[in-house]
Amino acid sequence: MATIIIDGQSFELPEGAKFNAIQAAKHFGIDIPYYCWHPALSVVANCRMCEIEVGTKDPATGEIKMLPRLVPGCQTPARDGTVLVTESAKVLEHRKNIMELLLINHPLDCPVCDQAGECGLQDYSYEHGRAAHRFVEERNVKPKKEVSDLIVLNQDRCIMCTRCVRFTREIPGTAELHVMRRGDHGEIAIFPDQPVDNPLAGNVVDLCPVGALLDKDFLHNQRVWFLSKHDGVCTGCSTGCNISVEENAGKVWRHKPRHNPYVNDYWICDEGRYGYKAANSPTLLGGNYVLEGKDHHGVPTDRFVKRLNETLTTRILDKQSVLGILSPYLSVEEAFAAAQWLASLTNRVELALGPVPVRGEDLTFAPDKTKGRSGDTSFIVPRPFTISAEKAPNRAGVEMMLDHFGKGAVPFEKALESVASHPIVIVFGGSPDESWIEADQVAALRKAEVLVLFDTTINPLADVADFVAGIASFAEKSGTYVNRDRRLQRFEAALPPREGVWPLLDLIAIVSGDGKAPIRSQEILKAAARVVPGLAKVEDGLVPELGLNLDSKDQPIPDAGFQDDWTLANVSTV
């Protein structure tokens, strides 16, 4: 067992952990401030914020020998016998010095800076800064520039930590950002006409510890302390990146990545990042509609349910069969509830999978340690990041339900052929994209005598369906998805359901008349786990924070969970 001594206290390092001093201290609840270091990037030790006193304890004599000078925690390995002192007068004085140095050329413009509230400089200033300013010279003036259509760089706020530059070189490998000039005239820059336009570009904004790199899409939209953050899972592809869905006043304002070393590490792709816009789309269905003649009429939910049930009951008594289509955008719980309801209607039911959008090929960014800056790379665990070609979050989860309730995952194209033998077609959609279905597919489905659609957007199928129920969008529902690696991941609703619209789980409970809304998705998951063999691992309905691989046991990742404090600043309660 490896023992490390921090501020006089002994701690046992977890098995297999390759920690530096910052990670080790954090693991035991002790914060060492830092800027330039990032757990997924090469170590450069240039900001010098993380300096501490370091020594070693002789295992034989128990004698502690301290190094005479300060040492950056980011470049100090935590080994058996390592001694760290993080709170000595020398260390505290040093932090004051660094804060002062970082601020001498920094503008005093927090009131207009978007980063305020989640800024590493602001946070540490309070904790570690000096009360009085000693700098009385003229400040260096540096420009504001655009590094892409979406990202602006306020050079005067930059602290030259080079996280952004290292990111573009080490993770996507596109190396669009560079350092220009040297000394205190240094700047971050792009080559003229070569913007940062890799699929992971937006991450440089999250990485930037200060308000230098900012997302123009979010710029001056919201002060971050008004945002409430909700743990979400991106629905953009089957990777299922963990995201924070950040909302205020009934609107989602942005997606930010949430760290999950098994899935997306610290990153999300730009498509997922800007996928939040669909949550605020004006084309979301605003209620329930019944087709009368050529026009859809909005009806209150109770009347809608009554009419739907009357129609279904009559026809089913008539021995008409049902074709149910479950889209890969449904959560596990929605798919379970939907399939269960359909199965309860009649035994003449066929279940199929909705269209699974596929675009291009899987795109994997496998960071190569040797591409980073030379130096100590022993703390970095390069984890590949994949953008999946399959552009839906839960094909795997929906297929489990189809396997359980039906005859497996009947593909959509096949289902279309069997519309003729099923007078009743019930479609569960949920894609944020209005064009999820094509005109010929709509035409094929419309051949049904009764076409029922549960969906989120006004789309070509909604235009023709007999019954159209608006349901909660991806941002308005809670539940779980199963990603491409068969990892079950939980997500929370960020917004309440839109006015006049129910979450699908509640709507099904009402339609089937056997539940009392509101329904908790966790209860449905529990119920599903009791009957669906693949879900046996979650019989208590509880999904661990980093998700759960349904097939195999996860290798433990000791460095999991490390995230920059300032991005976590929970200011929503202010």
Partner 1 sequence: MPKFEPVLSRNWNDPEILSVKRYESKGGYAASRKALTTMSPDQVVDLVKASELRGRGGAGFPTGLKWSFLPKDRKETFMCVNGDESEPATFNNRYLVEKDPHQFIEGILIGCFATRASTAYVYLRFEYIKAIKILEQAIAEARAAGHLGKNIYGSGFDLEIWCHRGAGAYICGEETGLIESLEGKRGWPRIKPPFPAIEGAFRKPTVVNNIETLACVPHIVERGADWFKSMGTPKSYGPKLYTISGQVNKQVCVELPLGVTTNQLIEEHGGGVWKGRKAKAAIPGGISMGLLTKDEFDVPLDFEEIRKTGCLGLGTAAVTVLDETTRIIDYLYNTSRFFAHESCGQCTPCREGTGWLYKTIKRIRDGGGRIEDLDLMNHLANNMGITPGTTICGLADGAAWPIKNAIAKYRPELEQFIRENVNPAARIAPVQEAISAGRSPLPSNTSMFVPGIGIAKSATS
Partner 2 sequence: MTPTTLPTPRMIPDSLRQKIESYVPRYPNKKAVTLPALHMVHSHFRCVPYQAMKEIAEILEITPAEVADTMSFYGFFPQAPLGDVRVWICRSISCMLRGGDELLEHACKNLNIEPGQTTADGKLTVEFAECLGICDHAPAALSDDGRVFGPLDESSLQKMLDDLRKGPIPLEEL
212 contacts ligand SF4 (rule: CB under 6 A): yes
Q: Which of 6, 26, 37, 329 binds ligand FES (CB under 6 A)?
A: 37
Of 179 and 568, which has the nearer Cβ to partner 2? 179
Smallest distance from ligand SF4 to CB 23, Å: 20
Smallest distance from ligand FES to CB 37, Å: 3
User: Which of 497, 552, 487 shows the shortest CA–CA distance to 242?
Assistant: 487
195 interacts with, out of partner 1, ligand SF4, partner 2, none, CB within 5 to 8 A per kind:
partner 2
Smallest distance from partner 1 to CB 186, Å: 4
161 contacts ligand SF4 (rule: CB under 6 A): yes
Are the CB atoms for 296 and 396 separated by under 8 Å? no
Of 375 and 544, which has the nearer Cβ to partner 1? 375
Cβ neighbors of 356 (< 8 A, separation 6 or more) are 328, 390, 392, 395, 412
User: Alpha helix locations (H) across 33-106?
Assistant: 89-104
Query: What is the Cα–Cα distance from 263 to 243, expressed in whole angstroms?
Result: 11
516: left (phi over 0), alpha (psi -120 to 50) or beta: beta
Of 75 and 148, which has the nearer Cβ to partner 1? 75
Dump strand ranges (E) for 68-185. 71-72, 82-85, 144-146, 151-154, 177-180
Is residue 127 classed as helix, strand or coil in its secondary structure? helix
How buried is residue 433: exposed, middle or buried, by Cβ count under 10 Å (0-12/13-18/19+)? Answer: middle
50 interacts with, out of ligand SF4, partner 1, ligand FES, none, CB within 5 to 8 A per kind:
ligand FES
Of 247 and 564, which has the nearer Cβ to ligand FES? 564
Of 115 and 242, which has the nearer Cβ to ligand SF4? 115
First vs last C-alpha separation in the chain: 43
458 interacts with, out of partner 1, ligand SF4, ligand FES, none, CB within 5 to 8 A per kind:
none
Query: What is the Cα–Cα distance from 328 to 431, expressed in whole angstroms?
Result: 8
Q: Which of residues 233-252 bind partner 2 (CB under 8 A)?
A: none
Of 165 and 519, which has the nearer Cβ to partner 2? 165
Q: Residue 426 is encoded by which pair of tokens?
A: 């019930």
Dump strand ranges (E) for 400-449. 424-428
420 interacts with, out of ligand FES, partner 2, ligand SF4, none, CB within 5 to 8 A per kind:
none
Stretch that binds ligand SF4, among 168-176, 209-217, 247-255, 262-270 (CB under 6 A): 209-217
Are the CB atoms for 135 and 102 separated by under 8 Å? no
190 contacts ligand SF4 (rule: CB under 6 A): no
> Which residues in this chain contact ligand FES in the complex, by CB under 6 A?
34-37, 45-50, 72-74
Binding residues (CB under 8 A) for partner 1: these are 43-49, 51, 67-72, 75, 94, 97-98, 101-105, 108, 110-111, 116-117, 121-122, 125-126, 129-138, 140, 159-160, 179, 181-186, 223, 225, 370, 373-376, 571, 574
